[in-house]
């Protein structure tokens, strides 16, 4: 039986993208690949979720895109974090900490 992957909670993808772009400028497929690798293949971001999230973050002026050439030689949009996105990353990170502690309390998982 194939192990199913957990779905991302609403808003979590924004946090993951912002954190990924904190590492540096990346194109969409590289963002998805980075999240999958860092999560040890637990989190998989499909294109149907990734690109709407990137457009949403761009619309909020948290990230910006510029056209460039990917390592494979293809034309791609490269995204980078803007100062407002860095501020939002801090806020989102704090909210995530609070949320995950609350879930752990409900599940009876100790913090220590």
Q: What percent of the chain has pLDDT over 70?
A: 90
Give, in order, the Cα–Cα distances in Å from 33 to each of 18, 29, 39. Answer: 14, 6, 10
CATH fold of 12-107 reads: Arc Repressor Mutant, subunit A (1.10.10)
Please state, rounded to an integer, the average pLDDT across all residues of the chain. 90
Q: Quick: pLDDT tens for 76-108.
A: 999 999 999 999 999 999 999 999 999 999 999
- Domain residue spans of the chain: 12-107
Which structure tokens are listed for 95?
């909210």
Model pLDDT for residues 59-72, shown as the tens digit of each residue: 999 999 999 998 88
Give pTM, 2 decimals: 0.87
Q: Which residues pair with 79 in a beta bridge?
A: 26, 65
Q: Tokens 């990924």, residue? A: 20
């Amino acid at each position: 039986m194939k192990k199913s992957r957990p779905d991302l909670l609403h808003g979590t993808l924004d946090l993951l993208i912002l954190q990924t772009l904190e590492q540096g400028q990346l194109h969409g497929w590289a963002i998805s690949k980075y999240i999958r690798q860092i999560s040890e293949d637990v989190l998989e971001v499909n294109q149907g979720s990734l690109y709407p999230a990137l457009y949403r973050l761009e619309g909020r002026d948290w990230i910006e895109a510029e056209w460039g050439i990917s390592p494979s030689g293809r034309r791609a949009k490269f995204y980078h974090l803007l100062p407002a996105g860095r501020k939002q990353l801090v806020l989102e990170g704090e909210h995530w900490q609070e949320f995950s502690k609350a879930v752990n309390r409900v599940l009876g998982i100790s913090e220590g």
